[in-house]
Amino acid sequence: MGKQKIFFFFLFLSVFSAFAQKNKKQELIIITGKELTPEDSNKVTQLFYSGLREKVVQNQTLAIDYFNQILQIYPANHFALYELGMIYFKKGDLTQAKDYAQKAVTIKTDNEWYWLLNANIYQQLQDFSLLNYALDELINLAPLKTEYRFDKANALFMMGRADEALTLYNKLEKEVGLTDQVLQGRQRIYLKKGDISKASADLGQLIKNNPTDVRYYLFLGDLYYSNHMADQALTVYQKAKEIDGNNPFTRIAIAQILESQKKTDEAFEEIKAAFKQESLGIDQKVKIIIKYFDSFPDTLALKKAQELSLILTQVHPSDPKSFSLYGDVLYQKGDYKLAQMQYEKALDLNKNIYAIWDQLLRIQLYFNDGKGLVAKGEEALSYFPNQYQLYFYTAFGYLQENNASQAINYFNNALNFDIDNAGIKAQIYSGLGDAYQSEKKYKESANAYEKALAIEPKNTYALNNYAYYLSLRNDDLAKAERMSALSNKLAPGNASFQDTYAWILFKLEKYADAKEWMLKAIENNPKSALQFEHLGDIYYKLNDVNNALINWKKSLLLNSKNSLLQKKIDGKKYIE
């Protein structure tokens, strides 16, 4: 044991004999008092009760000050020393706590609570030698409290004195019987020694004494399984299942072994049975489902995760975690509509979970649900006004709802935050470019797109939209062509990007190339009225009026409200 500093107050003592252990002497703090005047005695009492009052109302700083004032008057006041030790222990300052607690017990050696505080401090410090000594004192002071002897057995085990610990556990068994505490203590010793037979014998006796108590079967099964005796473990678990088929922990244990034996279907049936029991906590169930995520997008893993998640919502219908996780599984599966429903159910239970709002708004953005983005985005912002992503989602909602001015406000609100995600920041500037374009603020629009591409030069969204709007204004068509070509190279097969490139080539009077790219766009998206109209325009410029009319009519069938298109058909000519 390490030596500790000795304090001298009015009287010198070299060794406190009660603290001698084995052949080592433990020098402890020695404090003596002085005779107090009636005035000092009254002041100490007042300070003590003031300190207690502040301690009760959690004003630790003031409580510490009051108790320290007592020690300035009377250093040997063990009540104040103990209270200071307790305060620092609860604060996690074990060094200070140890100092005060040892002083208190040095003055008042027969106080059980003082020794208990010291024992708790030594336990936290993992100083098992001092813990063992403190427990000896506690056992002497309270010989009927078996918990101190159990703690001592544990301390002996941690000190490497397993045989002494085993002897103590055996003595305790004679007093209290073969309890879980005795059993678990002895198990650790047997396992450390590698004596599986004695460990299993203990458990076998417990099962014999308590044949309907599933816990002991689980203990024995776990013992076998942890020692690579899977067949024996499975036999024990199956017996436990016969006794109580609704015990989820038995089912999970059986599933673990069946899985290792490649009996995956049987294992999954056991897991499902366990999931149907509310006694298996939702957090443990969540951990099991999340393990399947490692195998996504494997269809079997997705199917199992979805089935378990559905059970989760049925067994725990009042916990938003169940619906949120079910939504996550469906999201991974690509079933966004059903995922959206689960996220909304989760939010009905608890609207203060940001991650669920984020997932819900991502889905609405994917579906271009402008109305939903605005409604849910505004609601989410009422709970989380400091999340820039919510301004981002809501801004796109306003943009899709043709409210460009409000979109500009929300995009700029998002930019007021310190955004560490370069991709989202680029998307915000791209959205601003779209919004300013709608407001015919072309300079601001171009500036926003340039900022987006400065952050992310290969942002296909910004490249395509910037190029398209330049072409609409007949502004720097050469730059528009370069950007559009790059977006198609980065995202081949995107009908919208192909349409943009074809239209820019049309503006550059490269009609043959424009036709080739527009046909690609229509092949990838055969239901776009705009693309058929553009193809008709291209055919007209190629002097193929018949094909121009055919494609204009196809476009009109898809969008009968296009009055300009009707004029083209009626006049059989291209109109700007």
**Helix (H), strand (E) counts: the chain:** 31, 0
Structure tokens at 468: 């398209």
Residue 457: the pLDDT is 96
Residue 34: the pLDDT is 60
- CA nearest to 203, candidates 189, 193, 212, 215: 215
Residue 3: the pLDDT is 31
Tens-digit pLDDT profile for residues 206-262? 888 889 999 889 989 988 898 889 999 999 999 999 999 999 999 999 999 999 999
Task: Identify the segments of the chain with pLDDT beneath 70.
Answer: 1-34
Tens-digit pLDDT profile for residues 85-98? 999 999 999 999 99
Residue 83: the pLDDT is 94
- Tally of CA atoms within 13 A in the half-sphere of 131 that contains its CB: 21
H or E stretch including 243? helix 230-243
Alpha-carbon gap, residue 111 to 387, rounded angstroms: 55
- CA nearest to 51, candidates 85, 98, 76: 85
Residue 21: the pLDDT is 36
Q: For residue 190, what are the CA distances in angstroms to 145, 178, 187, 469?
A: 25, 15, 5, 78
Structure tokens at 481: 């062509």
Amino acid at 478: A
Residue 116: the pLDDT is 95
3-state SS, residue 542 = coil
Alpha-carbon gap, residue 472 to 475, rounded angstroms: 8
φ and ψ of 74, to 5 deg: -145, 90
Give all strands (DSSP E) within 461-514, no chain letters. Answer: none
Looking at residue 425, the DSSP 8-state letter turns out to be H
